[in-house]
Amino acid sequence: MNEITALIGQHKYIRSRIIGFIKEIEATPYSQEALHWSMPFGKGRAHIAWQFLHCAATYDRYLNFRILNQEAKYLELVKAYGNGSVPNPKIIVKAEEILSALDITIKPYYEYFETLAPDKIENKPHDGADKTHREILHLLNWHEASHMGQAQITWNAFRAFRGHI
């Protein structure tokens, strides 16, 4: 197994945990409330749906803009959930929409890295890129795991708020 395969494998494990987490929330009678609940302290805190749609937007933008040096494919997703966006309480999504966005934005990312020659891991995707392939793989694995942690904290706080812990 080469390093690229190992890092993609790590990401697939992280992603499987996120999918399971979303399905756990979806199985509750208050899933819509939980996905969009904001903690009652700290204005503008991101809800669970935003956390995971932010991950989807990040993969679209990172692959297309930062790696392939072109426009993102899902501009509305990037606009609503990309870096620097603020959770909009008027945007309500269902669990299946989150799962779909995560799926359609990760597939091309996997395809790119699964076809990248292992000896290219130290290279930058193009001359203007600021990170190597290795740095990108590490960063985005960390990024997704970090947002999973934030979503888990929000879920635990929501459950306590609803009296289910």
Residue from 129, 147, 54 nearest 120 by CA: 129
C-alpha atoms less than 13 angstroms from C-alpha of 159 in its C-beta half-sphere: 11
pTM: 0.94
Helix (H, G, I), strand (E, B) or coil at 40: coil
H-type alpha helices, the chain: 3-26, 31-36, 48-61, 75-81, 95-114, 133-162
Mean pLDDT of 73-91: 91
Domain limits for position 147: 3-162
pLDDT band at 90 (very low <50, low <70, confident <90, very high): confident
Q: Is the dihedral of CA 14, 132, 103, 144 positive or negative?
A: positive
Position 7, amino acid = L
- What CATH number corresponds to the domain at position 52? 1.20.120.450
pLDDT exceeds cutoff 80 at 139: yes
What confidence tens digit (pLDDT) does each residue in 96-118 have? Answer: 999 999 999 999 999 999 999 99
pLDDT digits (tens, 9 = 90+) for 23-36: 999 999 999 999 99
Q: How many independent structural domains does the chain possess?
A: 1
Distance, CA of 122 to CA of 90 (rounded, Å): 43
Query: 126: Cβ–Cβ under 8 A, 6 or more apart, which residues?
Result: 67, 69
Nearest-5° Cα angle at 131, 116 to 129: 90
Residues 6+ apart with CB under 8 A from 72: 57, 60, 61, 64, 65, 78, 82
Structure tokens at 8: 């993609």
| Per-residue CA distances from 10 to 4, 7, 26, 142, 150 (Å) | 10, 5, 25, 10, 19
